Chains A and B, each alone.
Chain A
């Protein structure tokens, strides 16, 4: 076992875990943050995406010891004070979420795109979401939601 320190969505946590435990399992099972989903467990689907020290990672591929001391943002940290983030509102408005399994990962991947460029091109959106699979929406509504996130709040 290893003693692990994490700052998740602004809150600090200390816990004991086997050092090879996946960050995904620590989030879901040890910390009850079940917004982070498991799809493939192999780095292919992006359902487990979180932002680790500022960059998007697949939490199924990060052993917890490699995250020791890190600052992490999960889907639970995206809405602030009960207010959905503009990208979440845009997903709702444009039908970017259906069954919802891909949505937490999509949202975090979308946030990374928008952080770099609040008005991303379709190519930037496609590249930024290329590691996030969705079986329901056919992607067009997701692309639209990301594209229009700040276009519409500006109005």
Chain B
């Protein structure tokens, strides 16, 4: 059944303080709507149980991108198009720019926001593996003040998060990667632009001669939320890429993610593809090419 819009409320206070006060009046009653590319889909099909919405799209505090020598801070309301158009993000954080370019059609990228992607909490979403390997921090704001948490601690279960009912995600901050960080991101799915990813793997590492330093690996779609592969990382840390290491890393990854696998596509298939992507990432580290892989 199509929703009847007259049954729903939408307010647009127009300022961040106005939105935060409304959220604080009755925590949990008002649902923020940013680009609406998740909310309006549910609304359109009549599956939306929430009735009261507050517009946050375009609020200046949420759409700022601030660059310092140390970090890049992206407002939660920044659209994928703005991420893609930002030269410094493209240069320093190519994995995020690439994920943005995958997130649906250009029309979708013109509205969809990074904050909406993480709060929506799909385990298959495109940006989270990049945010995990970049060790992003999430700034949250309410009338009570602001706080920062590691993005790795943001998701607490399937579609559950550390966000309090009166809070908004304000921004996502990423420390500028060290010069020479090797960066990799690849997704294997049925249709690049439109399908929610089936498997995606992000990997970064620095090379110290032949030795891997600070390797970080994250995968979409294998857990209740985007997943950082700490056990596989531990095996890779301070190791040298060799056929033996690749075999061990594949086995470690499969052991680490197989029990987590649920929903979409068959577990076996996805585990194998994840191992193949990990192998491709490790092989890309061996090549002498200066620029980051894939």
B111 near A57 with CB under 8 A, answer yes
Query: Which residues of B (107-157) have their CB < 8 Å from a CB of A?
Result: 107-108, 110-111
Query: Which residues of B (75-105) have their CB < 8 Å from a CB of A?
Result: 81, 104-105
In the assembled complex, which residues on chain B have CB atoms less than 8 Å from the CB atom of A21? 5
The answer to the question of A132 belonging to the interface, with a C-beta cut-off of 8 Å to chain B, is yes
B41 near A42 with CB under 8 A, answer yes
A-B contact count (CB 8 A): 97
The answer to the question of B30 belonging to the interface, with a C-beta cut-off of 8 Å to chain A, is no
Choose from A17, A43, A56, A128 the contact partner of B40 (Cβ within 8 Å). Answer: A43
With both chains docked as a complex, state the minimum distance between the C-beta of A103 and any C-beta of chain B, in angstroms.
16
Interface size class of A (residues with CB under 8 A): 20 to 34
Distance A22 CA – B107 CA, assembled complex (angstroms): 16
Distance A66 CA – B108 CA, assembled complex (angstroms): 15
> C-beta contact mask, A96-137 vs B, less than 8 Å → 1, else 0?
000000000000010010000000000000011011100000
Contacts A20-B8, A43-B108, A131-B108 given; does A55 touch B81 at CB 8 Å: yes
Chain B interface, number of residues (Cβ within 8 angstroms)? 31
In the assembled complex, which residues on chain A have CB atoms less than 8 Å from the CB atom of B111? 57-58, 61-62
In the assembled complex, which residues on chain A have CB atoms less than 8 Å from the CB atom of B206? none
The answer to the question of A87 belonging to the interface, with a C-beta cut-off of 8 Å to chain B, is no
Distance A102 CA – B43 CA, assembled complex (angstroms): 23
Query: Which residues of B (28-66) have their CB < 8 Å from a CB of A?
Result: 33, 35-37, 40-41, 43-45, 53, 55, 57
B37 near A61 with CB under 8 A, answer yes
The answer to the question of A142 belonging to the interface, with a C-beta cut-off of 8 Å to chain B, is no
Distance A20 CA – B2 CA, assembled complex (angstroms): 13
With both chains docked as a complex, state the minimum distance between the C-beta of A26 and any C-beta of chain B, in angstroms.
10
> C-beta contact mask, A25-54 vs B, less than 8 Å → 1, else 0?
100000000000000011110100100000
Choose from B10, B105, B107 the contact partner of A20 (Cβ within 8 Å). Answer: B10
Contacts A61-B36, A65-B10, A66-B36 given; does A130 touch B106 at CB 8 Å: yes
Distance A130 CA – B110 CA, assembled complex (angstroms): 13
B10 near A130 with CB under 8 A, answer no
The answer to the question of B211 belonging to the interface, with a C-beta cut-off of 8 Å to chain A, is no
In the assembled complex, which residues on chain A have CB atoms less than 8 Å from the CB atom of B10? 2, 19-20, 63, 65
In the assembled complex, which residues on chain B have CB atoms less than 8 Å from the CB atom of A55? 81, 110
A18 near B8 with CB under 8 A, answer yes
The answer to the question of B26 belonging to the interface, with a C-beta cut-off of 8 Å to chain A, is no
> Which residue from chain B places its CB closest to the CB of A26 in the assembled complex?
B5
Most buried by A among B9, B12, B55, B110: B110
Contacts A46-B107, A49-B107, A131-B108 given; does A20 touch B194 at CB 8 Å: no
With both chains docked as a complex, state the minimum distance between the C-beta of B9 and any C-beta of chain A, in angstroms.
7
With both chains docked as a complex, state the minimum distance between the C-beta of B20 and any C-beta of chain A, in angstroms.
19
B107 near A56 with CB under 8 A, answer yes
The answer to the question of B237 belonging to the interface, with a C-beta cut-off of 8 Å to chain A, is no
The answer to the question of B247 belonging to the interface, with a C-beta cut-off of 8 Å to chain A, is no
> Which residue from chain B places its CB closest to the CB of A61 in the assembled complex?
B40
In the assembled complex, which residues on chain B have CB atoms less than 8 Å from the CB atom of A7? none
30 pairs from A and B in contact (CB 8 Å cutoff): A18-B8, A20-B3, A41-B2, A41-B45, A42-B45, A43-B40, A43-B104, A43-B108, A46-B107, A49-B107, A55-B81, A57-B110, A58-B111, A61-B40, A61-B111, A63-B5, A63-B10, A63-B33, A63-B36, A63-B55, A65-B55, A66-B55, A109-B107, A112-B106, A127-B193, A130-B105, A130-B194, A131-B106, A131-B107, A131-B193
